[in-house]
């Protein structure tokens, strides 16, 4: 059973001028929630998702947060990121957490030889390939409360909403994180 929080939440559509500023993943992308993995297009405001929370520079942990908004948009550019047997298709402006630089990297700037992803279990995983594809698809940007980051895919790769605030993650080193 998903936790529901009532409030002023809505599903909205981005205008064409906002598309270049929006991240998001194609339908079928799995998002980690308190009840298991859910396909992104089926998430609704009020549902609870697993998020990454860093309250201090000494402790980061996985917590729960409420989905605030699901923003479906169309894009004519897709970035295809392959990690092991998983393929992620997303908007070029989707942000991934790079475990090497400890910063958020846009999908369009990912480089397998320079970046690695942080998984839900705290492990670091290599990126096998990144492809830029001219293809029109609908993507879904998920906005969650709090630190506004969430996990996608079978193993849970840390990603961020399109509205990036300055987070303590950038000042941390993986070695000091406690899970």
CA distance readout (Å), 53 to 24, 63, 142, 167: 20, 6, 17, 10
**170 phi/psi in degrees, rounded to 5:** -65, -20
- SS3 per-residue string spanning 27-39: CCCEEEECCEEEE
pLDDT (tens place) for every residue of the chain, 179 residues total: 222 222 222 223 333 443 345 789 999 999 988 888 999 999 988 888 876 655 444 456 777 888 888 989 999 999 999 999 999 999 999 999 999 998 899 999 999 999 999 898 889 999 999 999 999 999 998 888 876 788 899 999 999 875 533 333 332 222 223 33
């Amino acid at each position: 059973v998903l936790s529901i929080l009532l409030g002023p939440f809505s599903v909205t559509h981005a205008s064409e001028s906002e598309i270049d500023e929006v991240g998001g993943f194609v339908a079928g992308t799995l998002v980690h929630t308190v009840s298991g993995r859910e396909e992104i297009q089926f998430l609704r405001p009020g549902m609870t998702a697993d998020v990454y929370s860093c309250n201090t520079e000494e402790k980061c942990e996985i917590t729960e947060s409420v989905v605030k908004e699901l923003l479906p948009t169309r894009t004519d550019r897709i970035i295809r990121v392959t990690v092991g047997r998983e393929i992620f298709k997303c908007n070029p402006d989707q942000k991934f957490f790079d475990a090497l630089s400890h910063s958020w990297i846009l999908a369009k700037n990912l480089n397998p030889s320079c970046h690695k992803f942080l998984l839900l279990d705290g492990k670091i995983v290599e990126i096998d390939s990144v492809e830029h594809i001219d293809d029109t698809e609908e993507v879904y940007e998920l906005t969650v409360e709090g630190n506004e980051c969430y996990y996608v895919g079978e193993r849970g790769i840390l990603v961020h909403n399109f509205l990036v605030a300055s987070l303590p993650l950038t000042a941390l080193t993986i070695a000091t994180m406690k899970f």
